[in-house]
Structure formats: C-alpha cells, structure tokens
Amino acid sequence: MKRDHNHLQPNPDPSSLRGAPSTGKAKVWDEESAQQDCGMDELLAVLGYKVKTSDMAEVAQKLEQLEEVMCNVQDDGISHLASETVHYNPSDLSTWLESMLSELNPPSTFDPFGAAGTAAAALDDSFLVPAESSTLTTLDFDNINRKHQKSGQQIFEEASCSDYDLKAIPGKAIYSQKTQPQTHDSSSSSTPTNVKSEKRFKSTSGPPSPSDIFPPPPPPAAASYGIPTASTRPVVLVDSQENGIRLVHALMACAEAVQQNNLNLAEALVKQIGFLAISQAGAMRKVATYFAEALARRIYRFYPQNPLDHSFSDVLHMHFYETCPYLKFAHFTANQAILEAFEGKKRVHVIDFSMNQGMQWPALMQALALRVGGPPAFRLTGFGPPSHDNSDHLQEVGCKLAQFAKKIHVEFEYRGFVANSLADLDASMLDLRPSEVEAVAVNSVFELHKLLARPGAIDKVFSVVKQMKPELVTIVEQEANHNGPVFLDRFTESLHFYSTLFDSLEGSVSSQDKVMSEVYLGKQICNVVACEGVDRIERHESLTQWRNRLSTAGFSPVHLGSNAFKQASMLLALFAGGDGYGVEENNGCLMLGWHNRPLITTSAWKLTNKTTAISQ
C-alpha cells in the first residue's frame, strides 16, 4: 500500500507529501504542467503509480503494444500472464509493462519450468523469473482448487511442504525425534562450535533515568534518519470506541501524566484503569491491563528484568508462532526471497540473526532439496543471546536441523554464535568463503530494531553485513513507529498497534496458545512503555524509516513478487480468523495486516555496490 507519499520517489522528499489538491487551485488539466517531484507525474503518484512525466508517452506506447498483442493472441496465450508469470512491483508501471511484453514476445519459447537466467538477474527489478521453479511449492493452486475442490490444508500436504505440518514442541524436544549426542560424519554436518564473544557488553547499568525523552541516536554522517519523516498513522477501530472510550481516555491521560512527571495523578489514573478494564470484554481488556501494568512499572520504577529467562521466552515464542500467522508469514516470505536469490548456486550460506529455535529453516531446506537440479550444500550460522541455565540451546537447535538435513539429503553445516548483541559480531568470526564459491543470505526477523537502543550499533551491524557480501538480506520488522522521541506518541501508537494484534488473536482456537501469545506480546508492551535507554529494545520503526536507513547504509531493494504474495495469502487462510488477515504489496515489500492495518513487513535487500563492500 501507499504510506506517506515519500516512498514513491527514489529520493524521499518530505515536502512532496500531498493528498488531494485543495479546491482553491486553478483548474489545471495539462499534466505536463503539473508539479513534478523528481520528475514523477504527481497525479498518478497519488493513485499509487510511479511514472516519470518524461516516460508517460513511452508507458502509453507499451500499453498499446500489450493491447495489440493481447488482441492477436488467443485467450490461453495470455492466461499464463495471470497464472504463471511472476509480477513485481506494479507501482513501477514502465518496468511492469516491459516485463509482460518480454514475456509475450516471443511466446513460442516460453518455458515456465525452465531455469532461465541467473540468480543475479533474478534480483534485477525488470527481470521476470519463471515462477514455478522458484516457489516453495510447485503446484498451481488455482487448478488444484478447481479440479479437486480440496481444502487448503490438504493441498499443502500434497505439496509436501512440511513447514505447515511442522509442529513445534516447546522446550528441549523441539522435534519429535529424541535428541542424542551424535558423532557427525562429514556428509551431514560439522561439529557446531559456539564462540562466546569476548566483547560482551556489560549488563544493565542501573535503572534508567526517569526522563521521558530519550535523545535520538546521533545521526551518521550521511543522513538524519534518526528522526522519522512525517509519518502515516494507520488506525483500525475493531470495537466501537463508545464502549471502551473511557478506558482509552484514562490510559491516555495516565500516559500524559507520566510524561509530565505528575506521578500522583498518574498513580490515581492507573488504579482507575484497572477498574475500567474489568468492565471490558476480550482484547480491549487484556491490552488495557498490559498497558496499565507497564505504566505502573514506569511510575513505581519497578522495571522488568531484562533479558528474560531463555527457556520461558522460547515457550512464549513457540506459542506465538503457532497461534497466529505473523512468524510463519515472516519465515515464509523471507524464505521465498532467499530461495530465489540462491537459484543456480551450488553452495549457500544463511546467516540468521534471529535463530531462536530455528523454525524458519526446515522449510527452506526442504525447498532446496526439491529444487530442480538438486540441493546446494547448505550452511547455516545462527546467532542468539546467551541462556541463563548455561545450556547450549544453539547447539541443540543445530543438532535437530542436522538430523533433518540428513533425512532430506541436504549437505549441512552449522555454527552457532552466542552474543548479547548483534553489534558484537565481526565478519572475521564467520569463516566466510569467497562469494563465487558460496552465496550468502543474511536473515533478520524482529531483531534489527533492538540495535537502535545503542548509538552506532545499527551502523556497525550494517557494515558487518556488507562485509559478508550477501546476495540477499531479508528483514522482517513490525510495521509501526514505536521509537519516536515523545513518550505519549509512542504510547498512543503502541496502544493502537497492540490492540490490533490482540484483536487478531481473539479468534484463535486454543486459549492456552492465546494466553501465551498475549504474555509474549505483553512483554513487548512493557518494554515499549516502561523502559528507557539501552533497556528499551522494542524500538519498532516503519518501513519508510527502514528504507531510509538501508538505502543510506548502501542497500537497494529486491522485490518480492506475486508468487510470494499469493502463497502468503493462502497461508493466511489456514488460520482461524483468516478473513481478517490480509497481505499487501508495497513497492516490492510484503505487509501482513489485520483488517487493513499493516502489522509486519518483509523486505529484501542487496548491496547497492558490491565492490565497495570491503572498504566499509
């Protein structure tokens, strides 16, 4: 979808924010004289299409050409454009039209299952990837649906995409096989090593100051991305506010009192919130309770322990994974992009910043195992925080994945790294191989925002990532701005964000899962509201903000296509409350939302300039 109009231009320009032209304007009907922002036709830009005014005639010509070809060709001749062709970024009209034209000319050589092009070309915006060879399943769902009228669940089983069958069991026994210490043979896995980082950050340095405004990190030389541009605030009201209006007002008033350091008033209001919350039903009551608790902690300076006991947070994470589609969507869409990037590569290396229980990887490994031409050698490097009970959970995860790899005959290598922060990471630790030999993908699901808590950390990580010379960097982040300088704004934004999230959980079948997921989210709420400084790690930022950061840091977008979109949409339909979930395409990124409110975004990136990577 379209956020603030910034993202439509190659160089975001805050002054270009414009909605409907005011009625006082003169009646202009010559589009050439319309205001030009970076040469874009403003009228079409407002409707979601990026077309340079200077390209308009050419775009018109392409439309005409397509019209002509479509008239000349039989119906079936163009139906593959809809059913098999993968489309990318429809906002870029010129490129989209061009891709269809090259698809149609010449039609006789079109081979949907051929491995046309190299992976590098696949990352090029204008290149059209033959769909089926590069998707996680190789079946045309539409045909299956119509012919066999099976349910979505069965189709996934048919496709033997075990991602959806994989039932995660919390705790140590992650997969159903018993864990045994194994001697590793060279064909399946190397001994996982854990390197305890020598450069550990000190643990929390005392309670954070009660000041409500945390100064934004000092901007880097190039751009001031610490300050978000005038932002879009999407809101969906899922319960009539009339019911919860007193409750919302009390929450806001309390937050305001906290911001003004009027702690007596804040205290009184927190108590009032407790009473009001009881009278509410469902999601609103729970959300209000978590926010009230967070406010109370802030008022009384009873800050939550950070970090959590690891096995407990694993359990919560697992339930969240099962209950609602957010993590599955994240994994699915990121894997899709990685799969496409790894096309044609014989040796691949995934560096995962968000290892947790390794839930993302079986599906990718399976897809790699099934790909035309056989699987590559698959190396996985996983990062995670240290665990409190001294157990080596990263090693266990590696073992499980090694067993799985053996079962599906994928050559597998694994290494786990424990670190308090990704900023501790150094490229030299990774034993990277030359990029001609081994293709690298870096993956981060809900991890990057934590780095914003310490000045310079995100820059360090970006620079290390560049040294890895990745083919692809996949990033999944919450779609919200919970990192603004003003506490009340953060409070309000997160109140709406988590209300929407909690509402999406309401439909889930198992109440056990639901409670766990709520606790999982509740901890995030607590962090956003009660913590400050280096302890406030849930510093979510919007896609626009991440786009700015990444482009400044030397990354360019890689577009996710209609194949990933479609399959993600079908995945969503499997979840209870499926109707409320929706996928949206936004200039090559995919967003998952609840009732049209975007909640998480998957984006993919490559190095803008590979040769300068080393100098960074």
Partner 1 sequence: MARRNEVKLNECKMAVSLSTWVLISNFKLAYNLLRRPDGTFNRHLAEFLDRKVPANANPVDGVFSFDVLIDRGTSLLSRIYRPATAEEPQPNIAELEKPVTAEVVPVIIFFHGGSFAHSSANSATYDTLCRRLVSLCKAVVVSVNYRRAPENRYPCAYDDGWTALKWVNSRPWLQSQKDSKVHIYLAGDSSGGNIAHHVALRAIESGIDVLGNILLNPMFGGQERTESEKRLDGKYCVTLRDRDWYWRAYLPEGEDRDHPACNPFGPNGRSLEGIKFPKSLVVVAGLDLIQDWQLAYVEGLKKAGQEVKLLYMEQATIGFFLLPNSNHFHTVTDEITKFVSSDCIKTIGERIMQCIGALLCVDYVCLFKCFLG
Considering only residues 56 through 95, tell me which ones interact with partner 1, judged by CB under 8 A.
56-57, 59-60, 63-64, 66-68, 70-72, 75, 78-79, 81-83, 87, 90-91, 93
**Token pair for 255:** 């937050």
Supply the minimum distance, in Å, between the C-beta of residue 492 and partner 1: 5
What are the φ/ψ torsions at residue 346 (nearest 5 degrees)?
-90, -30
Interface with partner 1 in residues 577-596 (CB under 8 A): 579-580, 582-585, 595-596
Interface with partner 1 in residues 597-616 (CB under 8 A): 597-598
* Residue placing its CB nearer to partner 1 in the complex, 82 or 173: 82
Supply the minimum distance, in Å, between the C-beta of residue 539 and partner 1: 20
Supply the minimum distance, in Å, between the C-beta of residue 485 and partner 1: 16
Angle of CA points 61, 64, 69, to nearest 5° = 125
* Residue placing its CB nearer to partner 1 in the complex, 29 or 206: 29
Site string for partner 1, 133-162 (x = CB under 8 A): ---------x---x----------------
Task: Find, among 474, 561, 530, 522, the residue nearest to 214 by Cα.
Answer: 530
Supply the minimum distance, in Å, between the C-beta of residue 248 and partner 1: 5
Query: Which H or E run contains 381?
Result: strand 377-384
281 contacts partner 1 (rule: CB under 8 A) = no
Residue that has been written with the tokens 């979808």 in this structure: 1
Site string for partner 1, 11-30 (x = CB under 8 A): ------xxxxxxx---xxxx
Contact yes or no for 135/336 (Cβ under 8 A): yes
- C-alpha–C-alpha distance, residues 188 and 343, integer Å: 22
* Residue placing its CB nearer to partner 1 in the complex, 352 or 479: 479
End-to-end Cα distance, the chain: 34
Site string for partner 1, 496-535 (x = CB under 8 A): x---------------------------------------
357 contacts partner 1 (rule: CB under 8 A) = no
Contacts of 195 (CB under 8 A, 6+ apart): 417, 418, 429
* Residue placing its CB nearer to partner 1 in the complex, 103 or 471: 103
Out of 15, 47, 181, 203, the only residue in the binding site for partner 1 (CB under 8 A) is 47
Contact yes or no for 266/254 (Cβ under 8 A): yes
Interface with partner 1 in residues 307-336 (CB under 8 A): none
* Residue placing its CB nearer to partner 1 in the complex, 233 or 346: 233
- What is the three-class DSSP state of 253? helix
Buried b / exposed e along 464-499 (16+ C-beta atoms within 10 A):
bbbbbbbbbbbbbbbbbbbbbeebbbbbbbbbbbbb
The conformation of residue 88, written as its DSSP 8-state character, comes to B
For strands 597-607 and 472-478, give the pairing.
Answer: antiparallel
Partners of 578 in beta bridges: none
For strands 555-558 and 581-586, give the pairing.
Answer: unpaired
Count of residues interacting with partner 1 (CB under 8 A): 86
Interface with partner 1 in residues 155-194 (CB under 8 A): none
43 contacts partner 1 (rule: CB under 8 A) = yes
Interface with partner 1 in residues 213-242 (CB under 8 A): 230-242
* Residue placing its CB nearer to partner 1 in the complex, 29 or 203: 29
31 contacts partner 1 (rule: CB under 8 A) = yes
* Residue placing its CB nearer to partner 1 in the complex, 81 or 519: 81
Interface with partner 1 in residues 453-492 (CB under 8 A): 492
Interface with partner 1 in residues 531-570 (CB under 8 A): 562, 565-566, 569-570
Q: Angle formed by the axes of helices 263-278 and 241-259, to 10°?
A: 160
Angle of CA points 476, 437, 603, to nearest 5° = 15
